[in-house]
């Protein structure tokens, strides 16, 4: 989840909200790749979640990253809740999941180097203090009562609200992890096409990255329990956004959608003011009950956009949000998948041709089935495994067309980052299938074996 936004003057008209989004348009030469990934921390001594404070804790890891590796601290109410360095930041999810939000970088080679350096830093500290980190889409064993609560004001407000909407909101907050990629667009038309491809094909990413077949100590019957959780979190701010595929889609249409999403908070002077369920439309008119007579700033709008959680999210860039957190090698595959599909025009056109005539009902059904069945889902009788193979071929062609070599031109282009996904399609075995096979096989039903075998 995001750290508080800052900067920007007061908003005087609704038109400025769409202009804010449109200001993200940039020429292709300036497009960048921002990769985010979350991971669960635990104590090696008892395999329980890391608390916020103590010798083996989240705050100990943040403090060591600050002191040893030069990260600048981000604090809230005197508590260390994040770090910043070189355009990247480390932040905390509600249950202590540690997130790297990477800097906007030119190539997947660079973003993978960034991920690797971060994981090496975290592992060096964790090994010393008796902690471990694991990449999964959902906590395999821990009950909600076991999860620590991070000292961030927005999470206290969100927890209260999530218990009033949907049925799985606090599971999402405290017991899930994701990997996502943030991407740019050239124009409103380019944004719309990328948004439509991203939503329609997000279930393919969900299936390929499915990595959460366990919850509360047992198999849950889903390839991605994280995807199951998102299907019943808060319908006002999640899902596949059918309006994106309708005539008239653009920045203003997304503004209309975002304005109708109930607010969580307003951030003022280092504290979160309760605005749960209130309307940003009222805020624009100076009629927000939480701040009577006050109008929003651009940082308020930026904050509000971070509280919306569809499968693709629009800010001044686009976020692809459908994948489970996963093992080290597959983190870099997620940006490769989406960059290959949408950063080359021929590949973007081919991807859109693949899904342009799907109906809203078919897209929504594929989303549900991808979480439950993974590569065994179908659309129009076509197996997901077959569809995923074609999508990967399009992504590979897009990466080849980009022809971005690694450092010194010695590593080749970016296509090799897709190898982990090509292996999944070739074998028909997702990470979840592999985990279930291990659970039924050499683990002998002992789920605690997952930590030793799958941690970073």
Structure-token pair, residue 26: 């940039």
Kindly calculate the radius of gyration of the chain based on its CA atoms and give it in whole angstroms. 21
HSE of 363, CA atoms in CB hemisphere, 13 A? 22
Structure-token pair, residue 28: 């292709």
Determine the number of helices (DSSP H) and then strands (DSSP E) in the chain: 18, 17
From the options 3.40.1670.10, 3.30.1360.30, 3.90.1150.10, 3.30.590.20, give the CATH code of 15-454. 3.30.590.20
Alpha carbon dihedral 329, 118, 228, 210, in 10-degree steps, equals 0
| 202, 329 Cβ separation under 8 angstroms | no
| pLDDT for position 381 | 97
Residue entry with tokens 């003011």: 273
| pLDDT for position 8 | 72
Alpha carbon distances (Å) from 208 to 81, 250, 355, 384: 32, 29, 17, 9
Residue entry with tokens 């080679």: 109
**Phi, psi dihedral angles at 415 (to 5 degrees):** -65, -30
Spatial distance between the Cα atoms of 375 and 3, rounded to a whole number of angstroms: 35
Spatial distance between the Cα atoms of 330 and 418, rounded to a whole number of angstroms: 9
Alpha carbon distances (Å) from 369 to 206, 221, 231, 309, 365: 10, 12, 11, 19, 6
The residues, ordered by sequence, that sit 6+ positions from 157 with a Cβ below 8 Å of its Cβ are 264, 265, 272, 274, 276
Three-class secondary structure of residue 389 per DSSP: helix
| 176, 389 Cβ separation under 8 angstroms | no
DSSP string, 331-384: HTHHHHHHHHHHSSHHHHHHHHHHHTT--HHHHHHHHHHHHHHGGG-EETTEEH
| 64, 143 Cβ separation under 8 angstroms | no
Spatial distance between the Cα atoms of 387 and 389, rounded to a whole number of angstroms: 5
Residue entry with tokens 């109008």: 295
| 126, 61 Cβ separation under 8 angstroms | yes
**Phi, psi dihedral angles at 440 (to 5 degrees):** -80, -15
Spatial distance between the Cα atoms of 122 and 116, rounded to a whole number of angstroms: 10
HSE of 358, CA atoms in CB hemisphere, 13 A? 27
Angle at 16 between CA 10 and CA 20, to 5 degrees: 95
Closest CA to 8 of 383, 406, 301: 301
Three-class secondary structure of residue 239 per DSSP: strand
- Residue 77 is given by DSSP the state T
| 148, 53 Cβ separation under 8 angstroms | no
Residue entry with tokens 């300036």: 30
Beta bridge partners of 72: 84
Q: For each successive 10 residues of the chain (456 residues), what is the average pLDDT?
A: 65 96 98 98 98 98 98 96 97 98 97 97 98 98 97 95 93 98 98 99 98 98 98 96 98 98 95 97 97 96 98 98 94 98 98 98 98 98 98 98 83 93 98 98 98 96
| pLDDT for position 34 | 98
Residue entry with tokens 């989406």: 338
| 174, 147 Cβ separation under 8 angstroms | yes
């Amino acid at each position: 989840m995001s750290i508080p936004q800052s900067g920007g003057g007061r908003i005087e008209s609704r038109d400025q909200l769409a202009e804010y989004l449109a200001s993200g348009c940039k020429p292709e030469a300036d497009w960048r790749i921002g990769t985010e990934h979350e991971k669960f921390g635990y104590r090696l001594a008892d395999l329980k979640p890391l608390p916020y404070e103590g010798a083996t804790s989240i705050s100990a890891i943040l403090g060591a990253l600050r002191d040893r590796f030069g990260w600048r601290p981000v604090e809230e109410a005197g508590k260390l809740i994040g770090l910043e360095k070189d355009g990247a930041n480390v932040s905390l999810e509600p249950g202590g999941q540690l997130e790297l939000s990477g800097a906007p970088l030119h190539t997947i080679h660079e973003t993978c180097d960034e991920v690797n350096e971060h994981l090496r830093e975290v592992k060096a500290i964790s090994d010393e203090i008796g902690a471990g980190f694991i990449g999964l889409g959902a906590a395999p064993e821990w009950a909600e009562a076991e999860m620590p609560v991070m000292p961030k004001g927005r999470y206290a407000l969100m927890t209260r609200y999530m218990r009033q909407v949907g049925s799985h909101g606090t599971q999402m907050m405290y017991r899930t992890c994701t990997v996502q990629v943030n991407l740019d667009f050239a124009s409103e038309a380019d944004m719309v096409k990328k948004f439509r491809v991203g939503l329609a094909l997000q279930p393919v990413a969900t299936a390929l990255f499915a990595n959460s077949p366990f919850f509360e100590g047992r198999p849950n019957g889903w390839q991605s329990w994280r995807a199951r959780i998102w299907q019943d979190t808060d319908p006002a701010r999640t899902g596949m956004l059918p309006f994106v595929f309708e005539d008239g889609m653009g920045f203003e249409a997304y503004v209309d959608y975002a304005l109708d999403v109930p607010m969580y908070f307003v951030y003022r002077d280092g504290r979160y003011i309760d605005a749960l369920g209130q309307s940003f439309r009222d805020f624009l008119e100076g009629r927000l009950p939480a701040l009577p007579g006050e109008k929003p700033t651009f940082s308020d709008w930026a904050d509000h956009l971070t509280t919306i959680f569809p499968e693709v999210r629009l800010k001044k860039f686009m976020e692809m949000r459908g994948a489970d957190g996963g093992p080290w090698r597959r983190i870099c595959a997620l940006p490769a998948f989406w960059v290959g599909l949408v950063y080359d025009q021929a590949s973007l056109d081919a991807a859109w041709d693949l899904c342009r005539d799907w109906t809203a009902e078919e897209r929504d059904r594929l989303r549900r089935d991808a979480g439950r069945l993974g590569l065994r889902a179908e659309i129009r009788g076509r197996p997901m495994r077959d569809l995923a193979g074609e999508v990967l071929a399009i992504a590979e062609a897009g990466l080849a067309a980009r022809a971005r070599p690694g450092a010194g031109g010695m590593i080749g282009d970016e296509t090799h980052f897709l190898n982990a996904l090509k292996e999944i399609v070739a074998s028909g075995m997702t990470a979840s299938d592999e985990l279930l096979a291990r659970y039924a096989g050499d683990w002998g039903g002992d789920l605690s074996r997952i930590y030793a075998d799958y941690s970073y």
